[in-house]
């Protein structure tokens, strides 16, 4: 059974950094591109970016490119999202997804709240 | 970037009825392989987001046949025939033709 489990969220102050993790199981992690998606409290979904199966290429939403970094450790079947200089508008639930022609599996999500 | 418009924020229906959710793209989602890179997702409270339809009309494994995806070019529809109680959820369309990938705003199916 494919499982994606995110962690690392919580309450952070504006300007701080935060690193989210997503542990994958039930499939060969190193065979798949992976994406991060976030959902605002108002339920708007936004694609953050993705990473190639071997970690050699990343692609980001232009508005987030300068502050967010996606990486992976295939030996640990883990996907990461490094968030820097966070802002109140980064308050959202963050999901990791397995990517093919579409996003076929999603994690439960982890909440990030940015507030002073 | 490609914009996706789901005009209905909410749809109120009764169990057993048929409902259609539309998604309009700002440009064609047809790729050179002949496939449309438009997919549909269901989000229910307390459950992981579930992929229902990909390539506009292909049901993912285990999705009931009452879920029907249709459309081409820039206009797409997710229809649910004989809506069941478990179908009351939020539905999103997503385009994966061009980066940045983009979602529709979502349509919430509500009990009338």
Q: What is the pLDDT of residues B68-90, one digit of tens each?
A: 999 999 999 999 999 999 999 99
- Residue to test with chain B: of A102, A108, A109, most B Cβ within 10 A: A102
Residues of chain B contacting A107 with CB distance shorter than 8 Å: 48
Provide the pLDDT for residue A90: 97
Q: How far apart are CA B110 and CA B85, in angstroms?
A: 10
- Residue to test with chain A: of B3, B42, B49, most A Cβ within 10 A: B49
> Would an 8 Å CB–CB cutoff place B97 in contact with chain A?
no
| pLDDT over 90 percentage in chain A | 97
Q: Residue B53's closest chain A neighbor by CA?
A: A102
**CA dihedral sign of residues A99, A103, A104, A106:** positive
- Say yes or no for a CB contact (<8 Å) between A101 and B37: yes
Pair A20, A81: CB distance under 8 Å: yes
- Say yes or no for a CB contact (<8 Å) between A108 and B48: yes
Q: What is the pLDDT of residues B16-44, one digit of tens each?
A: 999 999 999 999 999 999 999 999 999 99
| Residue among A44, A102, A106 minimizing CB distance to B96 | A102
pLDDT at A21 over 90: yes
At A65, is the pLDDT very low, low, confident or very high (cuts 50, 70, 90)?
A: confident
- Say yes or no for a CB contact (<8 Å) between B103 and A46: yes
Higher pLDDT, B7 or A30: A30
- Say yes or no for a CB contact (<8 Å) between B101 and A47: yes
pLDDT, mean of residues A7-16: 97
> Would an 8 Å CB–CB cutoff place B48 in contact with chain A?
yes
Pair A25, A77: CB distance under 8 Å: yes
Q: What is the pLDDT of residues A71-81, one digit of tens each?
A: 999 999 999 99
pLDDT at B1 over 90: yes
Provide the pLDDT for residue A26: 97
Residues of chain A contacting B102 with CB distance shorter than 8 Å: 47
The per-residue DSSP string of chain B comes to ---EE---SEEEE-TT--EEEEEEESS--B-TTS-B-EEEEEE-TTS--EEEEETTTEEPTT--TTEEEEEETTEEEEEESS--GGG-SEEEEEE-SSSSPEE---EEEEE-
Provide the pLDDT for residue B7: 85
- Say yes or no for a CB contact (<8 Å) between A47 and B49: no
């Amino acid at each position: 059974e494919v499982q994606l489990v995110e962690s690392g969220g919580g309450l952070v102050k504006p300007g701080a950094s935060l690193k989210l993790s997503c542990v994958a199981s039930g499939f060969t992690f190193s065979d798949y591109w992976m994406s991060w998606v976030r959902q605002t409290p108002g339920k708007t979904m936004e694609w953050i970016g993705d990473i190639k199966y071997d970690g050699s290429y990343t692609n980001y939403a232009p508005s987030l490119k300068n502050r967010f970094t996606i990486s992976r450790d295939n030996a640990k079947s883990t996907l990461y999202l490094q968030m820097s200089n966070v802002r109140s508008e980064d308050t959202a639930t963050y999901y990791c997804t397995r990517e093919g022609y579409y996003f076929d599996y999603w994690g439960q999500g982890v909440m990030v709240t940015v507030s002073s | 970037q490609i914009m996706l418009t789901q005009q209905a924020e909410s749809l109120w229906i009764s169990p057993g009825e048929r409902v259609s959710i539309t998604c309009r793209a700002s440009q064609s989602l047809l790729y050179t392989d002949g496939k449309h890179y438009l997919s549909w997702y269901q989000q229910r409270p307390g459950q992981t987001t579930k992929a229902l339809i990909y390539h506009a009309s292909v049901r993912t494994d285990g999705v009931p046949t009452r879920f029907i995806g249709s459309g081409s070019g820039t206009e797409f529809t997710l229809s649910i025939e004989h809506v069941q109680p478990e179908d009351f959820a939020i539905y999103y369309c997503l385009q994966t033709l061009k980066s940045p990938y983009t979602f529709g705003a979502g349509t919430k199916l509500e009990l009338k």
